Structure 1
Amino acid sequence: MMACAIGGEMESLQATLDFIANFDLPQVGLQNETALLDVINEEREQLLALGERLEADVSLNTLTLDKFSHGSLRGDKNAGKGSPTSSHVDVASLATDAPWPEASAQVADAARAKGETNVTDLTLWKGVASRQLALRRHAEAMNAKLRDEVVAQAKYAANLKRMLKRRYSDEMLELVPIMNRGRIVEDKATVNSHRILDELLGGTDYVYMGVDALLAKKGMTQVPCPGSMKKHHSNTVDGLFLEFMDKNQVPFGLRSTTNAVWKAFQAKKTRAGDHVQTKLCAQDTKPTETAMTSYMSYTCNAAGHSTYVQERRVARKYVEPDRSVFVGRALIDPTSRSVGFLGLLFQESLVVVVRRGEPLASGQEISVIESYMWVTRCDDGKEEAVKFREPLFTDLAVNGWDRKLSLFSQTIENILFDGAVSSAM
């Protein structure tokens, strides 16, 4: 009896297995039940992720999976005890529900066609879109800031260009008439100023005749060596305006020092940018062995006023056995481009005496240079000339002539030392 029952169960099991073999089940190895359950659970999780609208289908597939896993694969005892007819019915129902992967794929395709999206995908793309939006807004803000900076730079460049253009125009308007006038005055000077230059040269002889008395009267012996003194009479309208005295000694012989002083008389007497802004317009110097004539014109900008200045200079050299005397005279005529003659004249006189000094213990020759410069002012009382009586202009004049005399002394020393270096090489 027992043998008959066992034989019936074996026949039922064999029929079930033969029936299942006719279906295309996943090739996962039925002997490994754990691997098959993992595959089924993974498919079930995919179905659950389709959304709330697929709950009915997911439930149906879950029931099918439960039947399949518990009733067939795990060999439920109740299934084995039934008759072959009931077993065939269960297997038939299982066969009806078996193709659930294809059904789930069809459902997923339908949901995708209707525009339904996975919730996980929605969350992921929402985060990506949020970050992209933030980056876009940041880029737009940076672009707006850079655009404003570019506009500001363009405005600054335009303003700078306009300022430079205006400055260039002002300089051209200022210089072109002055340069033209300078050429006209230079032509007139070459033709009509011989009389003025001759008068200035004639005055040098008169100064040379009384040079010793002049230096003694002004107190040259009281000036230390090296040292300097200056006096200025700012309130003078007509008469003595400035006085400068300078004494220095150089380690060179009388002849070398005499030649250096004569070269310094022919050099430029002003240094650009010292006390005012100057621009040379014309210069003509004609030196000889014992005399020199010079004409120079330049623009002078000081205290907001532009002035055109003409200088006529002469100098003469007197050589004696134990000393050399130099006398220089100049007539300075400032004019204005808009007004013309200002009614103001300055006459500059310079006396330089070079004599032998006490030699050093080593036998080195010493030459002593004594310089005395004085400036007289002639003011006819015009309104334009009265402006130059203000302390601002008088201070500029004092500083200008003081530096001119200092430059003259430095030029002498430079010529001497350059000559010594050249001869030693």
Structure 2
Amino acid sequence: MPSPMYGDMDFLLDEASVFAFLADCDLVDEMEPVPTISTTSHCGAMSTQSDSSSFCITSEEPVEKKKSWRQRRKEEILNLRDEVKQLSAELQQLKYALGVHSRYRQSKKIKAAKDSSPFSSHASIWENTAQHQANLRSISEQENTNLRESLEYHIQKAKSLNRAVKRKLRAILMSPEMDMINQLQHHSKRATPPLNNEAVFNQLKVGIDELYGGLDIFFKQVGMDQLSRSGLQKNSMNSGARMTLVEFLDSYAIPFDLLQIEKAIWTPDTADSEDPALFFMQSATDDNTRMISMGFPFSLEGIDFSIVMRIVTRKYVEKDRVVFITRSLIEPSIGPLSFVETNRRVLLRGEPSSRGPTTIILTHREAVSYGDLLSSDMTGCPSIEIGLKTWEGFATQYNYALEDKLIRTSSK
């Protein structure tokens, strides 16, 4: 019969075998060897007592359990991802600091790191947004300015057309009076073309170049630069043997190009030469000089008479302006007096704008009489006051007629 001591030893061996088996199972699962748990038996000294003797076995020491291979790989991947995010944020911050912007916008924004770098990145984004908004505002202000100028230009065009329509309506309403003028033409003494046109033209040409040479000084003396953009100023009549009957200073703005107006002034209107109210009309052009001889009936204060005019116009083309100097000899069929009108007309380009071209016409007109107006016998002649008012109307009608001609030519 075996002793109790050998039975305890068998049980201890079986328990050690179980622990070793469990350690082998953990090794298979974790792909890593796990050290076996050592069981150290310390045998105490056998008691000298007579009743029994026994072995002393110490308890197992606790061992820390290691992480598996998959867990360690997962933690490494997560750590690497965090490092990639942090490095990407720092790289983006350096790009904004150096002014380097990506050509294509990123589809996703990189999350900012926990340090101070996100604040500078967001500040750069807001600065770019503010600059973009400022550019858009500047573009909008420029577009508003262009639209405002275009509106003013079309308003000016509409006013010109409105004036043309009103003048056309007045002409239609005055058609019965024109019929009376035609009847007057048949009953009145018809004027014939004068035979001394060449001598008169040569006389009118004298001094025109000198008038052009002193134009700027003359305009400054008469105060042409003090006129408003569109206005007519009339000066008082002077006295003297060769007295100035009337003097006009005029500034008129037309929404057409300078070259268009130059052509309209210089080119004779075919409608004028075919006007049945004219007795005759002859014209000739020599280089920069144009000469016209014409006769037509006239009625003033119920007095019917005819007028013969010889007109010489010389054109001077400069870089930024065109100058016309005109001298006209006016000979009424009644009264002892004849008149000479001198016309200085300057075409200037208006301020450049996107709404279209504008031309400023500066005109100085003066008329003098040959003979003493006070001592001359004016019996049967219209009063001087009515004649001056009519002359003022001619100065205004010239601008309107020129504007009508430009509208007709531009609509073709």
Q: TM-score, normalised by structure 1?
A: 0.48
Mark the structure with the bigger radius of gyration: 1
Greater share of helix residues, 1 or 2?
Answer: 1
Q: TM-score, normalised by structure 2?
A: 0.50
